[in-house]
A and B are shown apart, each in its own frame.
Chain A
C-alpha cells in the first residue's frame, strides 16, 4: 500500500484522534483564552475611550502638574494648596510610609510581648494574652480605627482644658502636643556624632564576633553599643554647649501654642493598626516558638546553659526561621490596611488620590498610580524580608 507521507518513527502518533491529544488541546485552550482576553480588553478599551471622550476627560498623566487647590492635614514635606497634584501624591505617599513604618515597629513590639505572654507558665499572663489576641483578631480594623477616632480621641477635652501629662505633653481632642526640639547652632555636630557612633557600633560588633569565634570569650556587646550610640552624641551635645532646646507647648486661652502636634487622625490610625496587627503577630510568634522542638531546650539545659540564655541563643534564632515568612505578610497587610486612613481623613496615598480622583475624574490614572505604588511597596518589603530570611535560614553544608 502506497503512502505518500511517511511519519517519523520516533514520534509515535497517538492512537486516538487529534482531539484527544493533550498537547493539541492545551494549545487550543490557550489560544481560545488569549482570543477571549484580547476581545474583552479591546471592548473595554473601546468603551473607556468612548466614555472618556463623552466626559471630556483627557487621559494621560499631564494632570499631575495641575494646581491641587486642597490642603492636607499633615505633611512631612513642604506642601501648600498651590502645589501640584503630583506633589500632593508624594505627600500622601510619605504619610503612608510614616504610618506603616511606625505601625510595624509598634505592632512587632506588642506582638512579641503578647506572643511570648501566651506561652508563659503564669496562668494569668497567658489568659490575658489569649484574651487580647481573640478580641483584636476578630474585629474589623476599620472599626478599631473608628473606636479610637470617634469613640476615644474625639471626646477628649477641648484644647484649653488639655489633659497635662508628664514631660510637658498635652492631650486634647486635636491630638497630642509635645515639646518640639529646636536645632540651634552646632547641633549638626551631635548628628555627626550619632552617625559616627552607629558606624563604630558595626565595627565593635564585628570585633566582638571575631573575638568570640577565636577565643570563645563573650564581649559585652549590648552595653558597649548602647554606650556608643547614646553616650557619644550626649558628650558632643554637652561639649558644644547644649545647642538643642525644646519648644514647649503652652496652654493659652483657647489653644495650645508652640510644640509639635500629632493629629488625632494619625494617632487613631497608628494605634488601631498597631493593636490589630499585633494580635496576628502574637499568634505567629507563639507558633514559631512552639515550632522549636523541645529537645533543643532540653539539650541546652543539659549543657548547663541558663534559661535566659537558652531562649536567646537556642530557641529564638530557630524560632525566627519559622516566624519571618508569615511576619512579612503581616507587615504587608499593615501597609495595605493603612489605606483605611481615607475613612478618617488622614492624608495617605489613597485619601489624597481619592480627592484628586473626585476633582479631576482621572480614575484610571489615579488607580494605576495606587496599584504601582502598593505593588512596589509589597515587592520591596518582600525583598528586604527575604534577604533577612536568607541570613537567618539554616546554614547547611
Chain B
C-alpha cells in the first residue's frame, strides 16, 4: 500500500539568508517604494515621463511666462492678437486677476462702501479663528458673538439703509462676499433644520414622519438647479400680489432647503448609530423628549457624523456657485462676467480667471476637510 510520507520537521538547519543589502537610506527607499517589482518600475517610469511632459510646461505657463502686471489686454495677447507679447506666447494672465481683484471680492458693491463687507469679513475671521482652536477659552461668548451678534451686524451693515448708511441693493452684491454669505447662512440654517427633519423622520407620529420623509426624498431626488428655479420662478407665484422677495433671499431659501435635506440624512445616520439603551436610559430617567434629545442622543449622534456634516458643508459651499445660473454674481459668476470686459478679452483671460476662482474654492473646501479630520481626532474618545 502506498503510504504517503510527509515530514514537517526539518532535519538539518537551514542556511542563514544573506542580510538585506540595505535597510535604510535613499537607495533603499527608492527600491522599496518606486522600483519594487518590474511592474512598479514600468509604472514609475511612465508616470515620471508623463510628469516631465506636463509639469515643466505648466510651471512655465503659470509662473514664468505669465503676465503679472499690466493695465489692459495688451499684456495678455500676442502682437498678432493686438497685444505686446511675442508671437507664439502663451501664459497665464494674472494681470487680469490683479486688476479685478477687488471686484472678485465684493462684486459691484460701491467702492466707497466696501469697508462694510470688509469689516464684516475681518470680524468674521477674528471670531472664527478662536472658535476653531479647541484650546481657546470663552467658547460660549465666542459662539454668541459669531452666530448671534455678527449676523445681526451683517444684516445692518451689508444692505445699509439704516443710520445714515446708503442702501446697497443685493443685485450689486457679488464676488467672494456673496459666496461666503450664501454658505454661512446655508450652513447656519441647514444644520438646525436638518436635525429637526431627521428627528421628524424618526418620529413615531405617522403624519410628521411622512411629511419629513417626503420632503427629504423629493429634495434629494432633484438637482439643486431645479430647486433654485423653483425659488426664483415659483416662489413669486405663491405669494399675494405686491409681496416680493429679494432675488438674493430667494436663492438663500433655495440653497438652505436643499442643504437641509442632505443634512437630515447625515444626522439620521448618526441617530441610528446610537444604541437603543441610550434612548431607554433617558426615558427611564424621566427626561422629556427634547431633554432626551438635547442632553443624551444628539451630542453623541452629532459627534459621530462630523465627517458627514463637514462633507455637506463642503458640498453646500461648492453648490453656491450654481446661483450664477439664475443671474447672481457669486465668485464664479463675477469672474465669468469679467470675461466679456473688452479691455481684458484675450485667449488666456478665461482660463486664468477660472484657475484663480478654482484655487479660491479649493482653498476653502480643502481647509474645511482638513479641519474636520483634525476635529475627529480631537473629539475621538476611542470607543473602538
Contacts and interface: CB of A to CB of B under 8 A. Distances in A.
Interface of A: 26, 29-30, 33-34, 37, 44, 47-48, 50-52, 54, 120-125, 128, 134-135, 137-144, 146-147, 150-152, 154-155, 332, 336-340, 342-343, 350, 354, 357, 363-364, 367, 370-371, 374-375, 378-379
29 contacts: A33-B207, A33-B208, A47-B240, A48-B238, A50-B240, A51-B241, A124-B43, A138-B318, A138-B362, A138-B366, A139-B361, A139-B362, A140-B361, A147-B358, A150-B339, A150-B351, A152-B351, A155-B351, A337-B223, A340-B322, A340-B325, A350-B225, A357-B229, A363-B234, A363-B237, A367-B226, A371-B222, A374-B226, A375-B218
Given A29-B208, A121-B33, A339-B223, A143 B234 contact: no
Q: Which of B206, B222, B321 has the most CB of A within 10 A?
A: B222
A343 B325 contact: yes
A89 to B, nearest CB: 14
B238 A47 contact: yes
B205 interface: yes
B314 A138 contact: yes
A364 B321 contact: no
A143 B347 contact: no
Interface residues of B, number: 56
A367 B332 contact: no
Given A26-B205, A47-B239, A138-B314, A150 B43 contact: no
Contacts of B230: 367
Contact of A336 (B33, B222, B355, B369): B222
B354 A371 contact: no
A124 B223 contact: no
B175 to A, nearest CB: 15
Nearest to A363: B233
Contacts of A37: 211
A141 B318 contact: yes
B319 A342 contact: no
A135 B225 contact: no
Given A26-B204, A124-B47, A370-B222, A151 B351 contact: yes
A19 to B, nearest CB: 13
B320 to A, nearest CB: 8
A336 B324 CA distance: 17
A342 B211 contact: no
B347 A155 contact: yes
SS class of chain B's interface: helix, strand, loop or mixed? Answer: helix
Given A26-B204, A125-B47, A374-B221, A138 B226 contact: no
A374 B220 CA distance: 10
Interface in B175-223: 204-208, 211, 218, 220-223
A121 B35 CA distance: 10
A123 B325 CA distance: 41
A128 B47 contact: yes
B246 interface: no
Contact of B354 (A134, A147, A343): A147
Interface in B316-337: 318-319, 321-322, 324-325, 332, 336
Nearest to B90: A155
A289 B207 CA distance: 41
**Which of A143, A340, A367 gathers the greatest number of chain B CB atoms within 10 Å?**
A143
B174 interface: no
Nearest to A376: B221
Nearest to A55: B237
A44 B51 CA distance: 59
A275 B357 CA distance: 18
B226 A371 contact: yes
Given A34-B207, A340-B223, 20 more contacts: A37-B211, A50-B241, A123-B33, A124-B34, A134-B366, A138-B318, A138-B361, A141-B318, A142-B332, A143-B354, A146-B336, A150-B354, A155-B350, A336-B222, A340-B325, A350-B226, A357-B233, A363-B233, A367-B234, A374-B221
Q: Which of A140, A142, A338 is most buried by chain B, counting CB atoms within 10 A of its CB?
A: A140
B36 A121 contact: yes
Given A48-B237, A124-B34, A139-B358, A375 B222 contact: yes
A181 B33 CA distance: 47
Contacts of A375: 218, 221-222
A260 to B, nearest CB: 27
Contacts of A134: 366
Contacts of B222: 336, 370-371, 374-375
Contacts of B336: 146, 150
Contact of A47 (B47, B207, B237, B332): B237
A298 to B, nearest CB: 19
Q: From B322, B324, B339, name the one whose CB has the most chain A CB atoms within 10 angstroms.
A: B322
A124 B48 contact: yes
B343 interface: no
A48 B220 CA distance: 25
B366 to A, nearest CB: 5
